Structure 1
Amino acid sequence: MTSDLRNPREAHVAIVGGSGFIGSNLADSLLSDATPVLIIDNFSRPGVEQNLAWLKQKHGNRIAVETVDVRDADALLPLVANSAAVFHLAAQTAVTTSLVQPSEDFDINLRGTFNVLEAARRSDRCIPVIFASTNKVYGGLPDIAVFEQDNRWVPSDPAIRANGIGENRGLDFCTPYGCSKGAADQYVLDYAKSYGLPTVVLRMSCIYGPHQFGTEDQGWVAHFLLSALSGRPITIYGNGNQVRDILHVSDAVAAYRAALARIEEASGQAFNLGGGPKNAISLRMLLEEISGITGRDVSIRYERERTGDQPFFVADTRRIEMTLGWKAAVSWREGVRHLADWLRRNRLEPQPEPARCVA
């Protein structure tokens, strides 16, 4: 699975975690524009080999691949140091897993990010590092008062209701996952301050789209669709009124590329990245849409809400729009139907156990 860099004079853009959902879509976008790409991944997540196979089939030997774990600083160092830029997307992504295995969560998300930053710093080159953070750095948002309206939680604050949560919101790490990603987020920003490394943080809301592996704990839009298309019940934690602004992966890729293209203006900044108020939906709203797509009712089970689950998170995208010239282009209904079609063609197969999901 490992391939040597064929032309050392032609610097690759490195994507750490490049066989994953967002990473593979980003790699495809860059490769389609003739940008050399190096995928760095340990291929530990089940199914990601399919994403790599797709990339190889489409782009052939234009893609380089190195099987390296982000926790292996020595192996990571020369790969990052010889890159033109780094997109760091590798992570332990599930809140539930972090609660069970906090040490591993720490090593992957925080120590791994530190290794990427150190590799870039020690190169003595100004290598841009663009980091995939999360809205979980803002914690559970318990102080945001909400009321129920049309099967969704609505903020009482009219400014939040109109624009969402901005980057001026104080950080409030919750759960080991929130702590590890939040601390990594701050390290990335500090390396711009302390060392002049050009870095950008993108605090993502819910990204969905083709090549996503929807599971119980991560990728809930794809998971809901896969479950409904397979006729399996879906478990909702809480009452289903939780609201998220979902963003199609093509729009997320455009944001990552815009961050690199405008690295001088963006360096040292964190941006909330999501679909914004126009793409804000509750779990119940998505289930209703899925019923329309499948032509049948979705079987739902309800259980107690989970630790750290935010009743409402919608990204205020005005800063990223103004700084990077980026805007979400895909409406949530269009995007969900597009994903449903892709899943029917590529991922629909029977599953042995009931589906569960956390937003």
Structure 2
Amino acid sequence: MNIALVTGSAGLIGSEAVSFFSDKFDLIIGIDNNMRQYFFGNEASTAWNRNRLEEQFANYKHYQADIREVSQLEVIFKEYGTDIKCVLHTAAQPSHDWAAKEPFTDFSVNANGTLNMLEMTRLHAPDAVFIFTSTNKVYGDNPNYLPLIETETRFEIDASHPYFENGIDENHSIDHTKHSLFGASKVAADVLVQEYGRYFGMKTGIFRGGCLTGPNHSGTALHGFLSYLMKCAITGNHYTIFGYKGKQVRDNIHSYDLVNMFWNFYLNPRAGEVYNAGGGRFANCSMLEAIAICEEMTGKKMSYSYSETNRIGDHIWYVSDLSKFKSHYPNWNWTFGLNETLQQIHDGIASRL
């Protein structure tokens, strides 16, 4: 039997992976205990998405396990063993603001939980492909010291810089920088996944995501930029921009396109490889530009205000360079642009309200 195991299976990327892999594996095992509700409140609950997966996919089996507890994971790994061919680890505490409130919880989920998943895979399914969703926050605020210029609606990197054409590559330093506690816990996990590939020879891939987005995101004020922004645009709820005049730039990758990157890696895996994964020059926007799109799609002016206080360790300009991944996997490319993604988010939120 061919089995794919997905942590955070009711979240944005996990649920997209369940859908994408459902016709490619005999069984999809989902591990998700809805800690997103604990992190961000009832509006962030992923229970609706878990229910959707269980109703839609007959070969999906859900486990309410906690990745911080080895004993809970061991039961699952012992039951399925080497039938597990792919482990897709998307479960995380994803907010750098929230991490400062409960550092022990953040680190235990992001770092210890990743170590637990790696060790269970090594002991019980050593030939499985292990795919990890890291983050661009591993680079800390180093991108803020690039030569940036201010335009009417965004910050942009100087056209003479090597990063101008394609964005920030994987050689950008992750050292001597302020990460936020979330960034630090994800650095620990990122390096662990690399090490299990390089030291133990496991097939591990690390994907440093930009803004991951899509219609199945349970966006909140502390996490889920485009999803939460569109929710405010539809409902009329107030939105707060934190710092940088609203001109901070993010690249945005649709959950389908990211999971398709995972699939290409699974088909031809490497050991301890690191890839930046975002919208790149194909799909990026500033806060002000995103607000303008949301207003156009909803036909309503948004209610928003500006705070001079930026989030600690936040990026002023971040665009991912995917040249390395595209050179290794030339059959992959983006499918969904920014406007298409936002339209899907709009329609998804509207259907649930």
TM-score, normalised to structure 1, is 0.90
Q: Does 1:336 align with 2:346?
A: no
Structure 2 residue runs of 5 or longer lacking an equivalent are 38-44
Counterpart code for 1:281: C
Distance in structure 2 (CA, Å) of the matches to 1:321 and 1:278? 13
Deviations for 1:18-50, whole angstroms, at most 9, x for unmatched residues?
111110111011114454200012222232111
Count of aligned pairs: 335
Q: 2:164 aligns with which of 148, 161, 169?
A: 161
Distance in structure 1 (CA, Å) of the matches to 2:236 and 2:50? 29
Q: Does 1:286 align with 2:290?
A: yes
1:245 alignment partner, SS class: strand
Deviations for 1:204-263, whole angstroms, at most 9, x for unmatched residues?
000111110110111110000001100112100011100011111111111111121121
**Hey, what does 2:215 align to over in structure 1?**
210
Deviations for 1:2-30, whole angstroms, at most 9, x for unmatched residues?
xxxxxxxx242100111111101110111
Q: Is the 8 A contact 2:133 2:208 kept in 1?
A: yes
Q: Is the 8 A contact 1:80 1:86 kept in 2?
A: no
Q: 2:33 aligns with which of 30, 34, 42?
A: 42
- After TM superposition, give the deviation of residue 133 of structure 1 in Å: 0.1
Higher mean alpha-carbon deviation, 71-80 vs 179-188, is at: 71-80
Higher mean alpha-carbon deviation, 139-148 vs 196-205, is at: 139-148
Distance in structure 2 (CA, Å) of the matches to 1:248 and 1:91? 18
Q: 2:65 aligns with which of 49, 63, 68?
A: 68
1:5-44 correspondence to structure 2 within 5 Å: 10-33=1-24, 35-44=26-35
Aligned CA RMSD, in angstroms, stands at: 1.4
Q: Does 1:244 align with 2:245?
A: no
- After TM superposition, give the deviation of residue 154 of structure 1 in Å: 0.7
Q: Is the 8 A contact 1:215 1:223 kept in 2?
A: yes
1:277 alignment partner, SS class: coil
**Hey, what does 1:55 align to over in structure 2?**
53
- After TM superposition, give the deviation of residue 162 of structure 1 in Å: 1.2
**Hey, what does 1:148 align to over in structure 2?**
150
Q: Is the 8 A contact 1:87 1:131 kept in 2?
A: yes
Counterpart code for 1:180: S
Counterpart code for 1:228: A
Structure 1 residue runs of 5 or longer lacking an equivalent are 1-9, 349-359
Counterpart code for 1:85: C
Counterpart code for 1:12: I
- After TM superposition, give the deviation of residue 96 of structure 1 in Å: 0.9
**Hey, what does 1:220 align to over in structure 2?**
225
**Hey, what does 2:237 align to over in structure 1?**
232
